Amino acid sequence: MTGSRFFPAFLALLLSASLHAAPAPGQQAVATAHPVATEAAHQILDAGGNAFDAAVAAAATLGVVEPYGSGLGGGGFFLLRQAGIQPDYVFIDARETAPGRAHRDLYRDADGQVQRDIALNGPLAAAIPGLPAALVHLAERYGRLPLATSLAPAIEAAEAGFEVTERYRLLGGFRLAAMQRDPETARLFLRENGLPEVGELIRQPELAQTLRAMAAAGRQGFYAGPVGQRLLEVVQAEGGIWEQADFDAYKVIERQPVRFALQSHEVISAPLPSAGGIALAGVLQGQATLPPAERGSVAWTHQLVELMRRVYRDRAVMLGDADFVEVPVARLTSPEYARSLAESVDPDRATPSAELGLPTGFSEGDNTTHFSLIDADGNAVAATLSINLPFGAAFTIPGTGVILNNEMDDFAADPDGRNEYGLAGGEVNAIAPGKRPLSSMTPTMLESAEELAVLGTPGGSRIISMVLLGTLEALAGEPVEKWVSRPRFHHQYLPDRIQIEEGAFDAQLHDALEALGHRVESAGRDYGDMQAVYWNKRDNRLDAASDPRGVGSAGVRRQLMAD
C-alpha cells in the first residue's frame, strides 16, 4: 500500500463511498491459524457460501483443531465488510460477559487478596460464552447457507480428530499443571497425564455432538436443552456462578467499528470493548504528524514506542466496556488527540512511564486465534477469537467437549495489580454483572480505492502492537507475507520496557534506543500468529499469508460456483 502522509479525515470520509466500489475479485482468499480450518472455509465458499458462512466454518473449526486458542466456550470479535451494501462495515461483538452473580471482589479472599488460581483455572474463571451466539447470528443475519451446512466441517474435524503439533505441545506446556487437575481436560487433551506426542490424534466426539445440537437447534442447542443444562450443572457443582438467566440474556452486539483516515486509506478496526482500534488511531494518526522517519530506523522505532507507551497508558486509565462506563471515544480517536500525544514525544529521550502518571491498575489476556478471508464478491471477514489463556480455564464440561474460557481475567480483578500479561488496569475495567472485559483483540482492515487489507493476530497484550506493525507494512506497499512475518517489538506502558522478539533489533538499533533511555528486553523467540489477506483492486489480484511462526495456512482459489 502506498500513499502520502496524514490525510484529513473529512476528505477520506468523502472518499469512503468510492473506496468500496470495485468489481468483484472472482476469487477467494483465506488465511487461518490451522490448515483444517482454512480448508473448511474454502469448502464452504466452494459450496456457494459467502464470506460470512465461511467465517462460521472457520471459527467453528478453529475451536476444534486449536483447543488451546478458541472455541464454543469462549468469544471474540468479527469485523465484516459487506460488498456493495450498507452498512459497509459491521463489527460483531461476541465478547463473553460477566455472570449476573459476579461482582468486583469476586476473586478476593477474606484478607482481601486476589486469588490468582481461581481467577485463572476452573469454572469461576469463566465468563458467559459468546461464540455460539455469534455463529448463529452470522449464519442467520449474513450468511447464505444453513448453519448446519457451515458447521459440518467442524463436526467432521471433531469426529475424525486432528494431529498434535509442536505448537499444541508448546501452548499445552504452559498450562500442563492446570490441565492435569481437571480429569475431563486431561482425558481429552493429555496422554497418561502428560502432553501427547506430535502426530497423535485428538478426537472430540462430545464436541461433535454439541456442534450437532447447534446445527439442529441454533442458539438453543448451546444455551438451553441438554447441552445448556449440562454446562450449568457442572459449572455450579464445581464452584462456578453461571445461571440460566445469564445464557438467556447473552446477546452479540453489532457495533460501529473505529474508523479513521490515514494517507489515502481508511483504517477500520475494533471498537470497545477492544482497546485495539482506539490504540491504533492514537499511534497511526499521531505518527503521521511527526517528522517522517525511515522505517526501521532509530527515530521511527522511538516514535512508535513512545506512542505505544501513551496509548497503553490511556488504555489502563480510561478504557472499559462503554456500555457500563463513560469513555471519551470520539476524543481518543480524533486526529487532534493523536497530535497531542505526538507533541508530547521527545525525539531525544524516552519518557519514563512514571512521568506520564501511574494508573490505578487493570487487566486482559490471551491465547486466542485469528483468521482473515475474502470471498469472490468482495465480502470480507477479520475475526479474532479467544478463550484467553491457552486451553482457557483448563476445565472441560464432561459430555459436551466445551472448554471453558478464563476471560474473567481480562477484567481488573485487582485494580491495583496486573493480570497474567503484566497489564495494568483500572476502575473502568472492574468486574460488574453483564459487563464485557476489556480486550486487545484487534481484527482490522485498511481500504483505499485500490486496495483492501485484512489482518489480525492472537497474542494478548501484544496484539495491538503486532497489528500496528503489520498495518505499517501494508501501508508501505510491502507484500502480505511481510506483514505477517516482520520482526516485532512492543511497549505497553508498564512494565516500562521495549519487549522485542529475539533478533528483532540489531546491536546498533538496540544500543541507540538504550542511549535514548529505553530499556530493551527479549520477549522470547516467536510471538503472534498473524493471518492476512489482500485484495489489489487495480489488477483484481488476491493474496494471502499465514504467519510462519504458527502452523496455519493461507491460499487463494478461484471460486467454484463462480465458474
Shortest spacing between CB 558 and ligand GLY, in angstroms: 35
Reported in sequence order, the residue ranges of 166-210 that DSSP labels E, i.e. its strands, are: 201-202
Shortest spacing between CB 501 and ligand GLY, in angstroms: 19
Cell numbers at 139, concatenated: 449464519
Total binding residues for ligand GLY by CB under 6 A? Answer: 13
Nearest residue to 272 (alpha-carbon basis) of 472, 429, 74, 134: 429
**368 versus 471: smaller Cβ distance to ligand GLY:** 368
Task: Mark the segment that binds ligand GLY (CB under 6 A) among 43-51, 105-113, 334-342, 438-446.
Answer: 438-446
Shortest spacing between CB 77 and ligand GLY, in angstroms: 9
Nearest residue to 89 (alpha-carbon basis) of 436, 479, 369, 452: 452
Residue that the C-alpha cell 522478539 belongs to: 501
Q: What is the x/- site pattern for ligand GLY, positions 395-414, by CB under 6 A?
A: ------------x--x----
Selected from 246, 364, 447, 473, the binder of ligand GLY by CB under 6 A is 364
Q: Which residues pair with 114 in a beta bridge?
A: 108
363 binds ligand GLY, rule: CB under 6 A: no
441 binds ligand GLY, rule: CB under 6 A: yes
321 binds ligand GLY, rule: CB under 6 A: no
Task: Tell me which residues are annotated as active site.
Answer: 368
Task: Mark the segment that binds ligand GLY (CB under 6 A) among 23-31, 287-295, 362-370, 515-523.
Answer: 362-370
Q: How far apart are CA 447 and CA 533, in angstroms?
A: 12
Q: How far apart are CA 265 and CA 270, in angstroms?
A: 17
Q: How far apart are CA 172 and CA 283, in angstroms?
A: 34
Q: Which residue is nearest to ligand GLY (CB)?
A: 439
**368 versus 429: smaller Cβ distance to ligand GLY:** 368
Q: How far apart are CA 80 and CA 281, in angstroms?
A: 19
333 binds ligand GLY, rule: CB under 6 A: no
439 binds ligand GLY, rule: CB under 6 A: yes
93 binds ligand GLY, rule: CB under 6 A: no
**71 versus 555: smaller Cβ distance to ligand GLY:** 71
Shortest spacing between CB 555 and ligand GLY, in angstroms: 27
Report whether 63 contacts 160 (CB < 8 A): no
Cell numbers at 135, concatenated: 455463529
Selected from 386, 419, 444, 485, the binder of ligand GLY by CB under 6 A is 386
Tell me the residue length of the chain: 563
3-class secondary structure, 253: strand
Helices and strands of the chain, counted as H and E runs = 20, 20
Cell numbers at 288, concatenated: 503521521
Selected from 122, 365, 470, 550, the binder of ligand GLY by CB under 6 A is 365
Selected from 372, 388, 429, 546, the binder of ligand GLY by CB under 6 A is 388
468 binds ligand GLY, rule: CB under 6 A: no
Cell numbers at 539, concatenated: 489488477
- The dihedrals phi and psi of 382, each to the nearest 5 degrees, come to -115, 120
Cell numbers at 556, concatenated: 487463494
**175 versus 518: smaller Cβ distance to ligand GLY:** 175
Shortest spacing between CB 335 and ligand GLY, in angstroms: 26
Task: Mark the segment that binds ligand GLY (CB under 6 A) among 211-219, 434-442, 482-490, 507-515.
Answer: 434-442
User: Cβ contacts of residue 392 below 8 Å, gap of 6+?
Assistant: 71, 73, 74, 126, 403, 404, 405, 406, 407
Selected from 368, 465, 471, 492, the binder of ligand GLY by CB under 6 A is 368
3-class secondary structure, 275: coil
Task: Mark the segment that binds ligand GLY (CB under 6 A) among 160-168, 188-196, 309-317, 437-445.
Answer: 437-445
Q: What residue type is 464 in one-letter code?
A: I
Shortest spacing between CB 362 and ligand GLY, in angstroms: 12
Strands 498-500 and 520-522: parallel
The DSSP call for residue 198 is T
369 binds ligand GLY, rule: CB under 6 A: no
Shortest spacing between CB 151 and ligand GLY, in angstroms: 24
Is residue 407 exposed (0-12), middle (13-18) or buried (19+ Cβ within 10 Å)? buried
440 binds ligand GLY, rule: CB under 6 A: yes
Shortest spacing between CB 43 and ligand GLY, in angstroms: 28
257 binds ligand GLY, rule: CB under 6 A: no
CA–CA–CA angle 385, 485, 68 (5° rounding):
30
Shortest spacing between CB 94 and ligand GLY, in angstroms: 12
Q: What residue type is 483 in one-letter code?
A: W
238: enclosing H helix or E strand: none
Cell numbers at 64, concatenated: 476444534
Report whether 370 contacts 456 (CB < 8 A): yes
**Near ligand GLY in 21-50, by CB under 6 A:** none
**285 versus 368: smaller Cβ distance to ligand GLY:** 368
Question: What radius of gyration do the chain's Cα atoms show?
Answer: 22
457 binds ligand GLY, rule: CB under 6 A: no
**40 versus 270: smaller Cβ distance to ligand GLY:** 270
Shortest spacing between CB 407 and ligand GLY, in angstroms: 6
Q: Name the residues that contact ligand GLY, by CB under 6 A.
A: 364-366, 368, 386, 388, 407, 410, 439-441, 460, 463
